[in-house]
Structure 1
Amino acid sequence: MGDGGRRRAVVGVSGSLGSLAALHRAANEARRTDAELLAVLAWEPPGGELAHRSSMFPSPVADLRRDAGERLLTALDTAFGDAGPGVPFQGLVVRGTAGRALVETADRADDLLVIGAGSRGGMRVLFPSVTRYCVAHAACPVLAVPPSPLQGELISMHRRISLRLSLDARELTDGRS
């Protein structure tokens, strides 16, 4: 065991479907290894730190932090409901970029860092990969939870509905008549 007592399963939480899957996986890993679950939501001011500092009317930091805390509580409630994760856990709201916040939090060699691997779309150039950052910089093992195949289908259905394309209700089940 490391320098802080109990083992920890540290998980990045944003509220996305991928982070909720990672949250469930981290809870399972914590249960399996008798570890504490540490759910981390990283936040930055809108537009980033530089834009916030140079803004004429920046949002109060306390409000932004409170909003981040509420997003974390909502994600935990969405994932586990009133029953909770079934293991000792803490929620942590950290100001900073997601990758750096997760790596700095999971700073023990016996921690396990669990993250949603995210989509494999073409937006990687605009949004650097948190997964890639964590794998490159973490001092502990990193478990990247791939997106559910159902997530891609859900996104496709949502796109078709928003474009007002026809949708056969049978496609929402298993495609069989």
Structure 2
Amino acid sequence: MGRVDAVVDEGEEPGVRRVVVGATGSPGSLAALHRAVAEARVRGAELWVVLAWQPPGGDLAGRGQGTTQVLAACRTAAVERLREVLDTAFGAARPGVPLAGVAVRGTPGAALVDTAHGPDDLLVVGTGSRAPLRRLLRPSVSRYCLAHAPCAVLAVPPSPLQAELESVHRRNLWRIPLDPRELTT
């Protein structure tokens, strides 16, 4: 089970519904975050934004001597990253729903499933990249959540603009010239 390390804004009361969403700052996680805000509004629920973190080298590295300072630094960095993600997503205006930002020590899938533990909770996840190589190298958080969550899970597909952005990145990587006819469509 993940360990909750920091809460940016307080607020869990018994019987209160929650919408839980993971946030990393990626375009996919920001799309999921904005969808989670809409779901929290509709349901009259609290929004819990989760950022999972692990010490360098994973949990085994966190068991040696002198790791207290390393773990504290990692925890502080995770909380700061969570604040940056929330600022990027919402700016000075808040989402208009009760908001809790939580940094959880653990893998992303397990951290989300452990946080969204109530049967009335809703877990919102981005589906991430569909590129075959990325799926092979990095386990799917959304698949983990769909398989293990004790509550409803809403999987948010990537924005069509994300696919276009990835296409441009591939074009630049391979130095493929831009066809001017593509700009008119």
Fold in common (TM above 0.5)? yes
Distance (whole Å) between structure 1 residues aligned to residue 153 and residue 180 of structure 2: 39
Give the deviation of 1:167 after TM superposition: 3.4
Q: In the TM superposition, what is the alpha-carbon distance from 1:55 to its structure 2 partner?
A: 9.3
Return the offset for 1:149: 1.1
What pairs up with 1:36-47 in 2 under 5 angstroms? 36-47=46-57
Cα distance, 1:46 vs structure 2: 2.4
Deviation at 1:66, TM superposition (A): 1.0
Structure 1 residue 74: Cα displacement: 1.1
Alpha carbons 2:23, 2:82 under 8 Å: kept: yes
Gaps of 5+ in 1: none
Superposition pairs for residues 1-177 of structure 1, below 5 Å?
Answer: 4-53=14-63, 60-122=70-132, 123-167=134-178, 171=182, 175-176=183-184
1:54 deviation in Å?
Answer: 5.9
Q: Say which SS state the counterpart of residue 83 (structure 1) adopts.
A: coil
Alignment-mate amino acid for residue 62 of structure 1:
A
CA displacement at 1:59 relative to structure 2: 6.7
Secondary structure of the 2:51 match is: strand
Asked whether the 8 Å contact 2:62–2:71 carries over to 1, the reply is no
How many residues are aligned here? 172
For the 8 Å contact 1:161–1:167, the answer to whether it is kept is: no
Conserved? CA contact 2:55–2:70, under 8 Å = no
RMSD after superposition: 2.3
TM superposition shift of 1:58: 8.9
- Compare 54-63 and 143-152 and name the one that shifted more: 54-63
Offset at residue 14 of structure 1 (A): 1.0
Instruction: In structure 2, list runs of 5 or more residues that go unmatched.
Output: 1-12
In the alignment, the residues of structure 2 paired with residue 16 and residue 146 of structure 1 have an alpha-carbon distance, to the nearest angstrom, of: 13
CA shift for structure 1 position 57: 7.9
CA distance in 1, matches of 2:81, 2:122: 23
User: What TM-score do you get using the length of structure 2 for normalisation?
Assistant: 0.84
